[in-house]
Amino acid sequence: MSKTNYLPRRYFMIAGTFLLALLLYVDRICISVAKEPISEALDLSDKQMGWVLAAFSLGYAFFQTPSGMLVDKLGARKVLATIVTIWSIFTAFTGMAWNFVSLLIVRFLFGAGEAGAFPGMSRAIYSWIPLKERGIATGINFSGSRLGAAFALPAVAWLIDAFGWRTSFFVLGVIGIIWAIAWYLLFRNNPEDHDGISKEEKELIIATRQDKEPSSAKEKLNFGQLLKSKNMWLAMGQYFASNFTFFFALTWLFPHIKGEYNLETVEAGFYTAIPLVFGAFGNWFSGWLIDRIFKNGKWDRSRILPASLGFLLAAIGLLGSIYMDTAIGAIIFLSIAIFGADMTLPPSWAFCVDIGKEHSGAVSGTMNMAGNIGAFLTALVFPYILAWTGSTTLFFILGSILNIIAILFWFKMKPHKHFLAY
């Protein structure tokens, strides 16, 4: 096939994972948009809704490492198709909840179902993407999650207004199952197994993905080995801070902005979509910056500097939002915060692939587990701080402090060292 009409197959893989990330966050954020009708239908308080939002993060965190190990063993094709089917079923079941306990259980299981998504993407990236392209590939994937969330805010708000919250969750579940079927039919775990890839692209990927041959090692990895790694602990700590900031945008930003500034539902959806769009820009910029620095021969710096800059912007944005008296002012500073928080994602996940190699799924899953403990706490800390103090100021100060600590962590991290060696 001539080069003039050949589009590299790895780009199709990235398109598939981009759509997966988009779907992941559409399904995840819809409950935040549906907070009011769900609370009214099931007679839930803000604190109970906090637990519902947190239940997702808890299920998501608990199953990160097991899902990562499973994808390392079975491959991204079967695992991603299976987990997307599972979480899509529980997305639909959300619309069938009849009380607080049933909703809590369904959202926990929904989180458990979503747990293997990003570890699965990481394993696919390790097999399919050359080392010099990992930054932008990861940035594109995570921008899908932010665009999905941004799209979901006004779109799901309209869907709920038009058809009700129960029907909306059912529709989203069906869309997920369609993606799972397409992924299973079109994707293969390694480029060596794909009939549609050219010889030239196959040779390029094999020569530039760190290992020149697909790993055939069946070494057993246990959780204790991961926890002996300094790189692993530092990655977990900084990702905790990143998720603490970002998951505010997925859980409490919509009801916070809507209630604080007396906005209509769809209007609030458009306002709160803006920081998530900036998050997508943060992913693209960070991914580009990573690959640009890496091409200059600075492997460690290509991960450390974009992440550190991102955490600094996140801290500034959270603090600045405290002093805003209008919805527009608050959204501007929160957009800076989410842009910065999302700048930390491409270096974080590229770092996991760097140090994890054939165990990229387990390493990235463990990092994401810690991150989602941060998300779990965000969902609970925000309503409880608001109830205790009558203000959100302390929440934003706490998020800023965590972001500054994360910068210190990054300057201790060593992307070129395998997790078993450091």
Structure confidence at residue 227 (pLDDT): 80
Does the pLDDT at position 297 exceed 80?
A: no
Does the pLDDT at position 156 exceed 60?
A: yes
Helical packing angle, 253-260 and 265-295, nearest 10°:
130
Does the pLDDT at position 216 exceed 70?
A: no
Which one, of 278, 271, 383, lies nearest residue 35 by Cα? Answer: 383
Structure confidence at residue 4 (pLDDT): 42
**Domain membership flag for residue 421:** no
Does the pLDDT at position 2 exceed 50?
A: no
b/e string for 361-390 if b means 16 or more Cβ within 10 A? bbbbbbbbbbbbbbbbbbbbbbbebbeeee
Which one, of 138, 164, 150, 174, lies nearest residue 307 by Cα? Answer: 138
**Domain membership flag for residue 153:** yes
If one compares 266 and 172, the residue with the highest pLDDT of the two is: 172
Supply the DSSP string of 199-216, one letter for each residue.
HHHHHHHHHHSSSSS---
Does the pLDDT at position 246 exceed 80?
A: yes
Structure confidence at residue 210 (pLDDT): 62
Distance from C-alpha of 266 to C-alpha of 340, rounded to nearest angstrom: 26
By CB atoms closer than 10 A (0-12, 13-18, 19+), residue 2 is exposed
By CB atoms closer than 10 A (0-12, 13-18, 19+), residue 20 is buried
Residues shown for the chain: 422
Q: Confirm if 311 and 407 have CB atoms less than 8 A apart.
A: yes
The total domain count for the chain is 1
**Domain membership flag for residue 121:** yes
Distance from C-alpha of 319 to C-alpha of 309, rounded to nearest angstrom: 16
Round the average pLDDT of the chain to a whole number and report it: 83
Query: Which of 134-148, 277-291, 320-334, 395-409 has the weakest average pLDDT?
Result: 134-148
Query: Which of 33-37, 266-270, 301-305, 344-348 has the weakest average pLDDT?
Result: 266-270
**Domain membership flag for residue 255:** yes
pLDDT digits (tens, 9 = 90+) for 120-143: 887 888 888 887 787 778 778 777
Band of pLDDT at residue 85, cut at 50, 70 and 90: very high
Query: Which of 94-108, 306-320, 373-387 has the weakest average pLDDT?
Result: 373-387
**Longest CA pairwise span in the chain (Å):** 66
Question: Phi, psi at residue 75, to the nearest 5°?
Answer: 95, 155
Distance from C-alpha of 364 to C-alpha of 348, rounded to nearest angstrom: 9
pLDDT digits (tens, 9 = 90+) for 22-42: 888 777 777 877 878 888 888
Structure confidence at residue 234 (pLDDT): 92
Q: Distances from the Cα of 274 to the Cαs of 48, 165, 341, in angstroms?
A: 27, 23, 14
Structure confidence at residue 192 (pLDDT): 81
Does the pLDDT at position 401 exceed 70?
A: yes
**Region 394-402 average pLDDT:** 91
**Region 246-273 average pLDDT:** 79
Percentage of residues in the chain with pLDDT exceeding 90? 18
**Domain membership flag for residue 1:** no
Structure tokens given for 323: 């002093």
- How many Cβ atoms sit within 10 Å of the Cβ of residue 312? 16
Structure confidence at residue 333 (pLDDT): 93
**Domain membership flag for residue 419:** no
Please tell me which of 43-47, 311-315, 370-374, 415-419 the model is most confident about, judged by mean pLDDT.
311-315
Q: Distances from the Cα of 256 to the Cαs of 152, 157, 201, in angstroms?
A: 17, 15, 48
Its sign, for the CA torsion 96, 98, 102, 107, is: positive
**Domain membership flag for residue 218:** no
Band of pLDDT at residue 219, cut at 50, 70 and 90: low
If one compares 1 and 328, the residue with the highest pLDDT of the two is: 328
Supply the DSSP string of 312-328, one letter for each residue.
HHHHHHHHHHTT--SHH
Q: Tell me, what CATH number does 104's domain have?
A: 1.20.1250.20
Does the pLDDT at position 334 exceed 60?
A: yes
Print the domain residue range for 229.
9-209+223-410
**Domain membership flag for residue 68:** yes
